[in-house]
Amino acid sequence: MIDLRSLVRTIEDFPKKGILFRDVTTLLGHGAGYQQTIDTFVARYKNEGIQKVAGIEARGFILGGAIAHQLGAGFVPLRKKGKLPGQAVGHDYELEYGTDRIEMHIGAITPGERVLLVDDLIATGGTAEAGIRLIRIAEGVVVEACFVIDLPDLGGAKRIEALGVKTYSLFAFEGH
């Protein structure tokens, strides 16, 4: 087994001074590490009846598409505002410096479908919460929200669990 945590690069002072940016692209660029990451998620969810995997732009696409393929599930992109070509529903969420919005095509998830939410990292949980709210607007059932990395000091996993959604992360980094 590869120590996946060791494959994540830390970039100091990005995007602003005092932040330790956890860059998962170095893990994704490591063939065996990427494969182990996807295999770990697939093993966890293979018997959960996942019908759709919703991936949050952009690294959630890289992870979610591979997971969906292995599970035989459909993939639903959760995109930034204005990026989807068809009719979409959106949800705003708070950032440190304002608000942002993610959107999903109307009809991408049908009522009762079992959905796995995927992203690379959970920090404050704002983006993941917006994704959960979109899935619930479509009346999908959020089976779990999964991430490669958790930054527990920022409280995102607790925020998501307060919504009644379990979270799963491969590993955590203390601090932010």
- Copy the structure tokens of residue 87: 């009719």
Question: Which one, of 27, 24, 25, 20, lies nearest residue 3 by Cα?
Answer: 27
Whole-model pTM: value is 0.96
**Rounded Cα gap, residues 107 and 109, in angstroms:** 5
125-142: pLDDT as tens digits: 999 999 999 999 999 999
Residue 18 confidence class, pLDDT cut points 50, 70, 90: confident
Cα 6 from chain centre: 20
85-97: pLDDT as tens digits: 999 999 999 876 6
At 176 the pLDDT is 64
- What are the catalytic residues? 59, 96
The per-residue pLDDT of the chain, averaged, comes to 96
Q: Which residue has the higher pLDDT, 16 or 146?
A: 146
Q: Mean pLDDT, to the nearest integer, of 71-89? A: 97
Q: Mean pLDDT, to the nearest integer, of 9-23? A: 92
At 96 the pLDDT is 65
At 41 the pLDDT is 98
Residue 10 confidence class, pLDDT cut points 50, 70, 90: very high
Residue 65 confidence class, pLDDT cut points 50, 70, 90: very high
Looking from the CA of 161 toward its CB, the CA atoms found within 13 Å total 10
At 31 the pLDDT is 98
Domain at 48-172: CATH code: 3.40.50.2020
Domain ranges for the chain: 48-172
Residue 98 confidence class, pLDDT cut points 50, 70, 90: confident
